[in-house]
Amino acid sequence: MATLLSVNVGMPKNVAWQGRTVYTGIWKHPVDGPRMVRRLNIDGDGQGDRNGHGGEQRAVLVYQMNSYGHWQKQFGHDTFEFGQFGENFTVDGLGDDDVCIGDRYRIGEAEFEVTQPRVTCFRVGMRLGEPELPALLVSHHRPGFYLRVITEGHVRAGDAIVRTRVGRHALSVADTDALLYLPGRDIERLRAAVDIPALSPGWQQSFRELLDNAETGTHANPPPVGVEPGWAGFRRLRVVDLVTESAAVTSVYLTAENGAALAKPKAGQYLTLRAAGAGDPPPIRNYSLSSNPDADTYRISVKHEAHGIVSGYVHTKLRPGSIVDVAAPRGEFVLTDDTNPVLLISAGIGATPVLAMLHQLAAAKSTRDVWWIHAARDANRHAFAAEAHGLLQSLRHAHERIFYTAADADAPRASNVASGRPTLAGLGLPADASAYICGPTPFMNDMRDALAEIGIAPDRLHTELFGALPAINPGVVDPAHATPHQPPGRPGSGPQITFTRSGLTVRWSDQHHSLLELADTCDVPTQWSCRTGVCHTCLTPVLAGDITYRPDPLELPAPDTALICCARPVTDLVLDL
Ligand code: FES
């Protein structure tokens, strides 16, 4: 019979880690005597990061003595203590191969239900000083598992563990874990997994998505939405025309150097430009396409920024006939095919991607209710005014609202132009619309809030973010706020690594274990969880160059993407990070 060997608790605390501070409850210690187990926790216990751990579905973490023995041999340790793997219950028996999702167990006065395997997370590796442990827990099929509390009550070390019910479909913890993280998924097992009521909602959703992909024949591990490059790396395009759009904005028309057809973009996507003549190393920037996606040429429209290296180069150096290096259209901010009303909302140069969407709607003679809402400083700096107006005139159900925000802007002459900051209240916007918003971050935040108040669902609010994506650094309480910079110390001599969203190029040095570690050192905002190639949170599009993995991830990502937590460069790299 299985036995509870130890009850372990610990409250979260700040721990120093790689120059940062992590708030974590991974340190647990055995307690004597009975302990009350409640719906959300054991008395005296807590979790640092409730998004990944804790809550009703993950109230108690279980790990097995048998696995302690396995890791002691693996790492050559003999000093493990109960609670070392962050578990609340150290147990004899209850192997991950034997326990099934939905199994119920009575321990002492309490009853529990198995909800999911352990969440793979870097903190268990940090606790044991073995950074690769999160990946090893999965690949060795020894994750441990979480319990939901069915009946609250006291438990104590030495209590017998009695199974009171077997989970539907008898899918073991080890098999469930492998089904999520390892390649070669069995579709019947996926069907079984989504039919286990006891499985936690988060895992249910992941399996539902995998099942949908499997049933529709989609790649089990698809590239991020919008990453369907028309060519690999950078390609030489010729400037065929330059057109002044306003006091500060110039459009650049591009075609293939050899006259070949260009890949068709989706309305709203952007190009990545490498400006070889603007500096060494050549700076790289993203610019939205502002043209009709069906056009023979690409058009990007560039605002001359006060200290913009690339925008200055575009405005002063480019001429018809100039050649520029360009990566294929990409991006997730794209107009979706639908019939509901569509709101195209922009400020300043943010008009470019939504203008491409407006072109597409006009070309398709769309009967959708289309709202064009744009903020410019004044009429002089109102780019694309005539072009957008003409497109809207060609649509059956179009509305145009323009706001001039400069205090000294001339008084508006048209009824659809107002002075002051854009306000959405009172415009009569339809609550069932899809909204596409592009502009400075505060503007996008304001518009999102205003649209949410109107009742537009969050999944219909789309924003374009050209800068760094928001960081996902679980548990880190002092995230970097510095502008991305060269790594401290002697510069490396390896391949050049360009982080396009941060506008930074640095040289690789083998003192870094991974591209993620290099990015962290440079304060480039990053997204990660396991840091060992399991969870795919760090998936990053690779615009150019080759990588190698050390260690190999458990499942390779789609082509032209990298799991940067375990990737190193082979050649110069351009990362969409
Ligand atoms: S952070 Fe989990 S795979 Fe990279």
* pLDDT tens by residue, 252-291: 999 998 888 899 999 999 999 999 888 888 899 999 999 9
* pLDDT (0 to 100) of residue 542: 94
Task: Look at 59 and 80; give whichever has higher pLDDT.
Answer: 59
CB atoms within 10 A of CB 428: 9
Separation of alpha carbons 474 and 122, rounded Å: 9
Indicate the top mutation candidate among 473, 520, 530 to test ligand 1's pocket, ranked by most ligand atoms within 8 A of CB. Answer: 530
Kindly report the pTM of this predicted structure.
Answer: 0.82
| Distance from Cα 346 to the centre of ligand 1, integer Å | 34
The residues lining ligand 1, judged by C-beta closer than 6 Å to any ligand atom, are 528-531, 533-538, 563, 565
Q: Mean pLDDT over residues 57-84, rounded?
A: 93
Indicate the top mutation candidate among 139, 534, 540 to test ligand 1's pocket, ranked by most ligand atoms within 8 A of CB. Answer: 534
CATH homologous superfamily of 2-216 equals PK beta-barrel domain-like (2.40.33.20)
Residue 206 tokens, joined: 């992941």
Q: Is the pLDDT of residue 77 over 90?
A: no
Determine if residue 86 is left, alpha or beta; phi over 0 gives left, psi from -120 to 50 gives alpha, anything else beta: left
| Distance from Cα 35 to the centre of ligand 1, integer Å | 36
Separation of alpha carbons 191 and 326, rounded Å: 43
pLDDT digits (tens, 9 = 90+) for 568-577: 999 999 999 9
Q: Is the pLDDT of residue 438 over 50?
A: yes
CB atoms within 10 A of CB 58: 22
Helix, strand and coil in the chain, % to nearest 5? 20, 30, 50
| CB contact at 8 A, 577 and 499 | yes
Q: Is the pLDDT of residue 367 over 50?
A: yes
Q: What is the CATH number of domain 342-463?
A: 3.40.50.80
Question: Which atom of ligand 1 approaches the CA of 553 most closely?
Answer: 3
Q: Mean pLDDT over residues 538-555, rounded?
A: 94
Q: Is the pLDDT of residue 219 over 60?
A: no
Confidence at 323, pLDDT banded by 50, 70, 90: very high
Who's near 514: CB < 8 A, 6+ residues apart?
531, 550, 564, 565, 566, 567, 568
**Residue with structure tokens 């199974």?**
163
| Distance from Cα 529 to the centre of ligand 1, integer Å | 6
Q: Mean pLDDT over residues 420-431, rounded?
A: 92
* pLDDT (0 to 100) of residue 220: 46
Q: Cis before residue 553, ω within 30 degrees of 0?
A: no
| Distance from Cα 447 to the centre of ligand 1, integer Å | 33
Phi then psi for residue 333, to 5 deg, are -85, 80
Q: Mean pLDDT over residues 215-232, rounded?
A: 59
Q: Mean pLDDT over residues 482-497, rounded?
A: 91
| Distance from Cα 122 to the centre of ligand 1, integer Å | 9
Task: Look at 189 and 277; give whichever has higher pLDDT.
Answer: 189
Q: Is the pLDDT of residue 251 over 50?
A: yes
Strand ranges (DSSP E) for 226-322?
A: 234-244, 249-256, 270-274, 284-288, 298-303
| Distance from Cα 72 to the centre of ligand 1, integer Å | 25
Indicate the top mutation candidate among 180, 520, 528, 561 to test ligand 1's pocket, ranked by most ligand atoms within 8 A of CB. Answer: 528
Question: Which atom of ligand 1 approaches the CA of 120 most closely?
Answer: 2
Q: Which amino acid is at 110?
A: A
- Give percent of the chain above pLDDT 70: 97
- In DSSP notation, 501-538 reads TTTEEEE--TTSSSHHHHHHHTT---B-SSSSSSS-TT
* pLDDT (0 to 100) of residue 344: 98
Burial label, 573 (beta-carbon count in 10 A; 0-12, 13-18, 19+):
buried
* pLDDT (0 to 100) of residue 465: 80
SS3 labels along 229-246: CCCCCEEEEEEEEEEECC
Q: Mean pLDDT over residues 172-195, rounded?
A: 95
Separation of alpha carbons 431 and 342, rounded Å: 10
Q: Mean pLDDT over residues 221-231, rounded?
A: 54
Confidence at 549, pLDDT banded by 50, 70, 90: very high
Q: Mean pLDDT over residues 416-422, rounded?
A: 89
Q: Mean pLDDT over residues 481-505, rounded?
A: 90
| CB contact at 8 A, 540 and 499 | no
* pLDDT (0 to 100) of residue 229: 56
| Distance from Cα 184 to the centre of ligand 1, integer Å | 19
* pLDDT (0 to 100) of residue 411: 65
Confidence at 470, pLDDT banded by 50, 70, 90: confident
| Distance from Cα 126 to the centre of ligand 1, integer Å | 15
Q: Is the pLDDT of residue 566 over 80?
A: yes
Separation of alpha carbons 371 and 368, rounded Å: 10
Separation of alpha carbons 88 and 62, rounded Å: 6
Question: Which atom of ligand 1 approaches the CA of 530 most closely?
Answer: 2
Mean pLDDT of the chain: 92
* pLDDT (0 to 100) of residue 226: 46
Confidence at 227, pLDDT banded by 50, 70, 90: very low
| Distance from Cα 516 to the centre of ligand 1, integer Å | 9
Q: Which of 143-152, 272-281, 285-294, 391-400 bottoms out in mean pLDDT, i.e. has the lowest?
A: 272-281
- In DSSP notation, 434-482 reads EEEEES-HHHHHHHHHHHHHHT--GGGEEE---SPPPPB-TTBSS---S
CATH topology of domain 234-330: Elongation Factor Tu (Ef-tu); domain 3 (2.40.30)
Question: Which atom of ligand 1 approaches the CA of 134 most closely?
Answer: 2
* pLDDT (0 to 100) of residue 468: 77
Q: Is the pLDDT of residue 221 over 70?
A: no
CB atoms within 10 A of CB 277: 12
CATH topology of domain 496-575: Ubiquitin-like (UB roll) (3.10.20)
Specify the 3-state DSSP secondary structure of 115.
Answer: strand
Quick one: angle between helices 201-215 and 173-181, nearest 10?
50
Q: Mean pLDDT over residues 8-14, rounded?
A: 96
Separation of alpha carbons 260 and 199, rounded Å: 52
* pLDDT (0 to 100) of residue 51: 72
| CB contact at 8 A, 501 and 519 | no
Which candidate, 283, 291, 289, places its Cα nearest to that of 329? 289
* pLDDT (0 to 100) of residue 409: 64
Q: Is the pLDDT of residue 453 over 80?
A: yes
Confidence at 340, pLDDT banded by 50, 70, 90: very high
Q: What are the boundaries of each domain within the chain?
A: 2-216, 234-330, 342-463, 496-575
Burial label, 255 (beta-carbon count in 10 A; 0-12, 13-18, 19+):
middle
Indicate the top mutation candidate among 515, 535, 552, 561 to test ligand 1's pocket, ranked by most ligand atoms within 8 A of CB. Answer: 535
Which candidate, 74, 46, 43, places its Cα nearest to that of 58? 46
Q: Which of 145-159, 217-231, 303-317, 464-478 bottoms out in mean pLDDT, i.e. has the lowest?
A: 217-231
| CB contact at 8 A, 541 and 564 | no
* pLDDT (0 to 100) of residue 349: 95
Q: Mean pLDDT over residues 415-433, rounded?
A: 91
